[in-house]
Amino acid sequence: MNEMQFLTWVRGTGLNIALGIFLLGVIWRLIEIYGLGRKKDLSAPRNVSGASGWNTMFRRSVPPEGMLKKSPVSYIGGYIFHLGLFVVLFLFAPHIKFFESLLGISWPGLPSQFIDLVAVVTIAAMVVVLVDRINKPVKRYLSTFEDWFTWLVTFLPVLTGWMAVQHLLLPYTTMLALHILSVEILLIVLPFTKLFHAFTLWGSRWYNGQVNGHKGVAV
């Protein structure tokens, strides 16, 4: 298989397979989660405002008091690379074109020079977070194979995409094909790993806040 055949495969058959597994996996996991059911709480609500869920979503999204000073790399690096991933994924013109081909909708993008800067910062932040995890004994001890693997499959699409745009290391066609392949691997593993928090993060925080608020627990 030559470069063009490889690129054609990952843009066609490979992408269709990855998207199919991704969609089926997400649907299955969501059914699994929401199909668990919850017993109706018949007790009188202690918090009648109904805002506990939204408060929890906000409070859990900012560092607890004192933690930013104790673990700046985890929080600052984490915020930077998550925001960077969002910007690169949804505001880069070629990516917007891809979403338009799938969904039929489009939105304005950011200048490629800015996206390039964001990609470099995102790559650096992810490397710093990884080094911090390796160098801190407790974090390293608590880390499992899944933690290292999910970091890798998240990192590679950003790195290969940036390298393709910059025409680094390999011919553009080959690097673009590797970039698309790395994205497909990410799509395939996302529903079945910790990366699925992309779909459950806000909902779980809101739900926990609502339940605790109903019971009068401070959130």
* Per-residue pLDDT at 38: 67
Q: Which amino acid is at 54?
A: W
Burial of 5 (0-12, 13-18, 19+ CB in 10 A): exposed
Distance (Å, whole) CA 100 – CA 121: 27
* pTM for the model: 0.84
CA–CA distance, 23 with 8 (Å, rounded to integer): 22
**Residue 75 DSSP one-character state:** I
Q: What is the total residue count of the chain? A: 219
Predicted pLDDT at 2: 78
- The C-alpha atoms of residue 205 and residue 122 are separated, in whole angstroms, by 25
Structure tokens at 183: 């994205």
**What are the mean pLDDT values of the chain's consecutive 10-residue runs (219 residues total)?**
84 94 93 74 59 66 72 86 94 93 91 95 95 90 92 96 94 94 96 88 69 59
Provide the 8-state DSSP code for 1: -
168: DSSP letter:
-
Distance, in Å, from the CA atom of 209 to the CA atom of 216, rounded to the nearest integer, reads 10
3-35+45-213: CATH, from 1.10.3430, 1.20.950, 1.10.3470, 1.10.10: 1.20.950
pLDDT of 89 reads 94
Domain residue extents for the chain: 3-35+45-213
Give the 3-state secondary structure of residue 189.
Answer: helix
